[in-house]
Amino acid sequence: MSTGLVRSALRGHRPALAGTFVAALFAATVVSASMTLLVSTSADGLSAGARAVLAANDIGDMAVVMLIGSIYMSIFVIASTMGTAVAQQHRELALVRAIGARPRQVRRAVVVQAVATAGPAALAGFLLGGGLLGRVWFAGLRDHALVPAEVGYRFTWLALPVCLAVAVVTSALAALLASLRVSLMRPARALEEAVAGRRELGRVRALLGVLAVVGGGALSVSLAHQSSDRAAQASFLVLLLFCVGTGLLGPKVVGPAARLVAAPARRFGGSARLAVLNVRSQPRRFSAAVVPLVLVTGFGLTKIATHTTAAHYTGSAGSPGSVWLDYFGTGLYAGFAAIAAANTLAMISFERRRDLALLRVVGALPGQVRSMAAWEAGIVAATALSLGTGVALATLAPMLTAAFGSWVPYLPWPTALGMAGATLLLALLATGLPVRAALRRRAITTLAAS
């Protein structure tokens, strides 16, 4: 039965598993590039002058930080994407439990599909990271004189076990944890929850979310009275605490924020009003899409505003090589979060294909359905921008206060509009493409298949 369940899941949830494959591929690519960079910039066999240049630019420490950061972000993105993919199979898992499947058979089937998806992605990412991304990254370091010409790029097989561990092990554990609850539930209860959805937030999760937000706020206030260097070093922890808190609290934070953002949209016709009702009635579903976008905007705004504010006050954003390196790393981290957000939005849209078919059966035109989806994407993007801006301000406040005596960051309008436009475009594409694909099928065919 486990083998049959795996095959059924792979056939019926290809978009979800495709999203998981993309997340694991990107994660393995960045981890492979970071590991290769760390090996290439090691001081073994180099002259004293080359070692001095590497030490002066802190390249070794940078490589270690980037490797650790890439592993952390990989775990976050893969776990989030795989968890969402398994959650979409809740109905199928409940059905096989109802016809006699044992809990361990359900868990084994889900883990097998996770490994089957992440394994090839890890191998491809290892080759792509060491063969392409790592070379581009290393060339940038050399072009900005951060690495001397004597240092050569070295492809390493040591990255392969790291990529496999991060992608495959994380996917398997995330799948196991996501399937644990439904596999242990009574079949009748599991089927009921699959239809109605789970609305309550677990007590442990809620407590951890509150502690993360309170801890981030307390740390932000305390860092405002520290030196600028110490505040800058600890600012990432503030950002991390707020993002983790937002993710754990999920609907409790995103729901009220989305209602405030969505309220003005009701004036723009029936499609907008229907989008508002959908967002308000399904806070858990839409919070899963908002949280990765909060990470994108919060992290991006924090890093960019750090340099633009320094340039505004002092006339210099810093050393050109260090600024390039910071922006390159920011782009990689933003890529992680963007992939998580796009995967989540696409999977949510795919999951709603039956709802979209019902709308068409009762008389909604394809253009009206697409308009509703666009309004939903706009509400999600606006909510994420609002929460992400709040996270960025809380992160920047202590650092800017310690350095410049003011907590207000400086961000040029073109940069701000560019980030807002990119967030909206990401939400529109990730939502609109699956909806457009769903509308190509006849509504009756979709309802019969589901």
**pLDDT by residue (tens digit) across 166-217?**
889 888 888 888 777 777 777 666 666 655 555 566 677 788 888 888 888 8
Whether residue 230 sits in one domain with residue 157: no
**pLDDT by residue (tens digit) across 119-132?**
999 999 999 999 99
Whether residue 315 sits in one domain with residue 405: yes
Amino acid symbol at 437: A
Whether residue 228 sits in one domain with residue 194: no
Domain end (from 143, 171, 198): 198
Whether residue 213 sits in one domain with residue 159: no
Report the pLDDT value the prediction gives residue 447, as an integer from 0 to 100: 67
Report the pLDDT value the prediction gives residue 129, as an integer from 0 to 100: 92
| 386 has pLDDT over 60 | yes
| Chain mean pLDDT for the chain | 80
Domain end (from 156, 181, 198): 198
Whether residue 207 sits in one domain with residue 328: yes
Domain end (from 198, 233, 257): 198
Whether residue 315 sits in one domain with residue 269: yes
Q: What's the rounded Cα separation, in Å, for the pair 112 and 343?
A: 21
Which band of pLDDT confidence, cut at 50, 70 and 90, is reported for residue 244?
A: confident
**pLDDT by residue (tens digit) across 7-19?**
554 455 666 677 7
Report the pLDDT value the prediction gives residue 6, as an integer from 0 to 100: 46
Lowest mean pLDDT of 101-110, 222-231, 319-328, 399-408, name the range: 222-231
Whether residue 213 sits in one domain with residue 188: no
Go through the chain and tell me how many residues it has: 450
| 4 has pLDDT over 80 | no
Provide φ and ψ at 151, rounded to 5°: -80, 130
Whether residue 208 sits in one domain with residue 129: no
**97-106, 220-229, 231-240, 389-398: which has the highest mean pLDDT?**
389-398
Report the pLDDT value the prediction gives residue 10, as an integer from 0 to 100: 47
For residues 284 and 198, the answer to whether their CB atoms sit within 8 Å is: yes
Q: Which residue has the higher pLDDT, 383 or 45?
A: 383
Whether residue 205 sits in one domain with residue 187: no
Percentage of the chain modeled with pLDDT above 70: 88
Q: How far is CA 138 from the centre of its chain?
A: 25
Whether residue 213 sits in one domain with residue 193: no
Range of the domain at 317: 201-450
Domain total in the chain: 2
Whether residue 383 sits in one domain with residue 247: yes
For residues 29 and 133, the answer to whether their CB atoms sit within 8 Å is: yes
Report the pLDDT value the prediction gives residue 448, as an integer from 0 to 100: 63
Lowest mean pLDDT of 53-62, 154-163, 260-269, 375-384, name the range: 260-269
Alpha helices by DSSP H, listed for 103-186, are 103-128, 134-143, 159-164, 170-184
Report the pLDDT value the prediction gives residue 14, as an integer from 0 to 100: 65
Whether residue 122 sits in one domain with residue 233: no
- The residue ranges of DSSP E strands in 43-111, in sequence order, are none
Average pLDDT value for residue range 378-384: 85
Which band of pLDDT confidence, cut at 50, 70 and 90, is reported for residue 369?
A: confident
